Amino acid sequence: MQDKYAVDSSPMASKSQKKSRGPVEVIEGKGIKVPIYSSPVRGVTSFQLSYYKEGKRERERTSSIESARKRARELIEELASGKAHGGVTFSAAQAAILKEAGESLKEFDIPLTRAVREYIEALRILNGQGTLSEAAQFFVREDKKRKIPQIKFQELVNKYLLSITDNSYRYKQDTQARLRLAAKAFSTDIQDITTTKIDEWLDSINARGRTRNNYRTSLASLFSYARNQGYLPDNERTAVERVKKVKAAANKAPGIYTPQEIKKLLTSIDDRWVPFVAIAAFTGMRSAELHRLDWKDVWLEKGYIEVAAQKAKTASRRLVPILPNLKAWLTRYKDKGDTPCPRFAHDSTLMTEFSQSADLVPFARVHNGFRHSFASYRLAQTQNAAQVALEMGNSPRKLFENYRELVTPEDAEEWFGILPTIRGKARQGGATVSGKKTSKKVSAKKPK
């Protein structure tokens, strides 16, 4: 019977055998593998065994496959007992360690000696810079990056800003300003921007407190967009998400208006601004929401103002109650024009124009004062934070953090008791209040 390992000396067979570089058999035992290779010499059948002894690769040659198998089994016994290593023998504990190591490597079909050699080689390459596991994780991350499409930070900013369609003008304006500034600092691909670089940039522009957190929020939205578009790895935290939020300083008490100040404003400001002031003061609606408001949204009979989802900052529809004093103010103006407030291209323009009109009244304006005031007086009136937060379109936590000042129920009663007890048209420079015309003129200031 022909030996299946006999050598075919024909030229074609020679080429085929040269291509076959794998072992013809692998003899295993006691966690040790000894491969047997077909290695003919000048056309004569020959087999070669390969194994490691004292960290060095050794080879032995035999004339037949049977003798190769026999010698491989002998080598396994010698290597397992330590005889092959200069007569060194292992203690029971050492043998157990070797066995455990061999078992651990079975999953990858790698001999212990090879694993040790590669580990030592990796340590030399790292030269003390991190662990082998960290190096492997870094390699996988970089390999993923190579498969992800590249995009410059500036180009990504442009794409992201174009994608913002459902937010208020002011939100878009603020986001654009922050990201345009960042684009001047980061000229690299989005993948190359690290947490450290972001922190250093925020330090360079002296971003502190809430301002720093606002920049972080805008960048986080940009990086999230990049991940969703496939420019950053999935299921990984982005560089900006690892930037720590700054702990907010203790909130100062928000500035609010007194009932006397609102009375003065309502009776002295140009007539076209009266619905705007009344709604802002007695509902706490945002300026951007007021800017989008139409009279058809004001349900005087039902007692609500509808803030549609597309008109709300939070993109959630809500009904704002029309309190009795507000109904009295709005009834006089319901049929005057299509909108309660003068209509401009943007809500920022609305506030600029209002400020110029308010400057003609002896009235000290407070930043976001209408919303702060309503929240404070309404909470004192209802003693129900959840209800007030729902009416204002935010959370109870935000209500207490940003909009609440301590006022008494008596103050609230006075605030929501302000009624249009004027005769005729309210006008600047000599208002008619409670049926008595005042002769005192209001000093005018130049618009800012």
- Which residues share a beta bridge with 59? 50
pTM of the model: 0.50
Closest CA to 34 of 46, 44, 24: 24
How far apart, in Å, are the Cα atoms of 298 and each of 53, 158, 170, 279, 324? 91, 38, 24, 10, 14
Q: What is the pLDDT at residue 433?
A: 35
Q: Which CATH class is domain 259-437?
A: mainly alpha
CB 340 within 8 A of CB 290: yes
pLDDT under 50 in the chain at which residues? 1-2, 7-19, 423-448
Q: What is the pLDDT at residue 372?
A: 92
Protein fold of 153-242: DNA polymerase; domain 1 (1.10.150)
* 264-282 confidence digits (pLDDT tens): 999 999 999 999 999 999 9
* 322-373 confidence digits (pLDDT tens): 999 999 999 988 877 778 988 888 877 888 899 888 888 887 888 889 999 9
Domain boundaries, the chain: 1-89, 153-242, 259-437
CB 46 within 8 A of CB 61: yes
How far apart, in Å, are the Cα atoms of 435 and each of 10, 175, 421? 124, 49, 7
Closest CA to 184 of 225, 224, 209, 153: 153
Q: Look up tokens 């939020």; give the residue.
A: 245
Q: What is the pLDDT at residue 189?
A: 92
- DSSP letter, residue 346: S
Angle separating helix axes 259-268 and 274-283, nearest 10 degrees: 160
Q: What is the pLDDT at residue 167?
A: 66
- DSSP letter, residue 56: E
Tokens, residue 70: 């026999």
Taking residue 428's Cβ as centre, other Cβ atoms within 10 Å add up to 15
Closest CA to 282 of 391, 367, 432: 391
CB 345 within 8 A of CB 338: no
Can you tell me the distance from the alpha carbon of 20 to that of 38, in angstroms, rounded to the nearest whole number? 9
